[in-house]
Amino acid sequence: MYRAISPADRRSAFDRGLDVAGLDGGSVQLSTAQLESLAAGIAAPLLVPGDVGWDDAVRLWNGLAARLPALVVQPSSAREAAFAVRFAAGHGLLLGVRGGGHNIAGTAVAAGGLLLDMSLMAGVDVDPAARLATAGPGCRLHDLDRATQRYGLATVLGFISEVGVAGLTLGGGLGYLSRRFGWTVDNLEAVEIVTADGRICTASRQENADLFWAVRGAGANFGVVTRFAFRLHEVGPTVYGGLIAWPFERADEILRAYRDFTSRAPREQAVWMLLLTAPPAPFVPAQWHGRRICAMAVCYSGDLARTDEVMAPVRALGTPLVDLLAEQPYAQVQSYLDDTEPKGMHYYWKTEYVTELSDDLLAEACRSFATCPIADAEIGFLHLAGDLNDHDDDDGAVGNRDVKYVMGCNGMWDPDDANGAQYRSWIHGAGQRLRPFTAGRTYINFQTADEDDGRIRATFGANFARLAALKRAYDPGNLFRSNRNIPPAPAGQHPHGSQQR
């Protein structure tokens, strides 16, 4: 933690100027006058190390990915965000943009650079008659869920309530409602966005359609979104969900049953299948604490009168170790995994999209988890098949319209644990063993910082060339590079099917 500094010390820091990482790989010395000109365009004070509010502004969820900027700007409007973008571009500064700061790769913060912390722009407005919600880039999932659930409405969001709406959406977005309504970006109606030249514009299917196409899956590469507009659907306020678990010794049987019933499940049912170590929680029998188990996290958002029918294949698996399945508020289902991902721990993931749960894949998942040395680790599968498969592959940059599941080999440990290198090695190895049975690509928001550029290309597939060409059109200097980056295409390559700016 940084100590708060006195106004005099802070004034001295500004009098000396400030070194900020530059786009060219070097550093840029900002003078006092330049810093004051930046401060003049922003209502909130600029933050430097030691200031009150600095720690909250720069803290990332994944402690393993922690890095620090040199300077923080907290815009409270699109105009202020545009002013900061023009300042960064004009001075050649390395720029990061932070919404919720929950990304596994930690790319929101550009080390030594200028950070736009969007947390002050966290408003949500809901129009229940039009079934639309607008949200600022500082919103967390719980902000949007709570606002929309007042009207029995929801859009597709993730599973941890502290995740930022902006980062989730700009990478495509997936959640319990994906089987019913597709990727999050399939439910995005429009954005207000600041582009690399500092313009504020609206992008939708009708306006700046090429930019909107790119934002829907690769948005962090194309600007700072200052407002999202989402289509809403009737969901809740009560759904059926929770956690149910069995001994790991039954994992082969449970995994095959999962494959069987998910192939027939209604789109209103979404299930995580998890291989994990039972936590020392009060709902787990004491004799199972610290032992391997297999579990399902369930969300059924359909007609509650059909619950028994829909859940019959799960109930047919016999007496569980843990059974927390019940009717409960949708917002509660959306947050009941929160405690499994506390902020500041070290996280390392290897994830893949999957088009089928082959015998070989399921067998390797069981073999790998049986050797897992990490107390807080899991190998899991989330069923996604449904609405997202009904779209053309080029309906938004997100692509991947053939996937049926997403699979993850994920670990978490304390920053002081001396075995961190061993844990990372195990996760990486398990991921390598599982990859041959997968689609060979994965959700962009689940990619760790050490994934090579080939993984980005594979994820976007046939859409990558168009994205690179649009990157040249909208951000030729690659100002927005602190992300899973798509470099601008060479000069002369034009985006296929794009509109003139």
Number of Cα atoms under 13 Å in the Cβ half of residue 481: 20
Radius of gyration over every alpha carbon of the chain, rounded to an integer in angstroms: 23
**What does pTM read for this prediction?**
0.94
Q: What are the strands, taking DSSP E only, across 436-498?
A: none
Residue whose C-alpha is closest to residue 410's, from 338, 340, 344: 340
- 109 DSSP assignment: S
Q: How far apart are CA 242 and CA 384, in angstroms?
A: 18
Provide the 3-class DSSP secondary structure of residue 395. coil
Contact 141, 161 (CB under 8 A): yes
Angle between helices 464-474 and 209-218 in degrees, nearest 10? 120
Query: Cα dihedral angle (134, 139, 145, 151), rounded to 10 degrees?
Result: -40
pLDDT at 452: 87
Residue whose C-alpha is closest to residue 381's, from 354, 363, 399: 354
pLDDT tens by residue, 85-140: 999 999 999 999 999 999 999 999 999 999 999 999 999 999 999 999 999 999 99
How does 449-467 read in b/e, with b if 16+ C-beta sit within 10 Å? eebeeebbebbbbebbebb
Domains of the chain: 7-117 (3.30.43.10), 124-234 (3.30.465.10), 238-453 (3.40.462.20)
Q: What are the strands, taking DSSP E only, across 113-220?
A: 114-117, 124-127, 132-135, 153-154, 188-194, 200-204
Q: How far apart are CA 140 and CA 363, in angstroms?
A: 37
pLDDT at 421: 97
**Block residue for tokens 């319990």:** 176
Q: Give Cα 203 to chain centroid, integer Å.
A: 21
Which tokens go with 157? 């969001």
Give the phi and the psi of residue 253 in degrees, each rounded to 5. Answer: -65, -45
pLDDT at 11: 53
Number of Cα atoms under 13 Å in the Cβ half of residue 247: 6
DSSP H helices, 263-358, are 307-315, 330-333
DSSP H helices, 138-250, are 141-149, 165-170, 178-181, 209-218
Question: Residue ranges of the chain with pLDDT lower than 70?
Answer: 1-14, 492-501
Which tokens go with 115? 């950070």
pLDDT at 494: 62
Q: How far is CA 470 from CA 82, 107, 317, 475, 501, in A?
A: 20, 21, 50, 8, 10
pLDDT tens by residue, 214-255: 999 999 999 999 999 999 999 999 999 999 999 999 999 999
What type of residue sits at position 297?
A
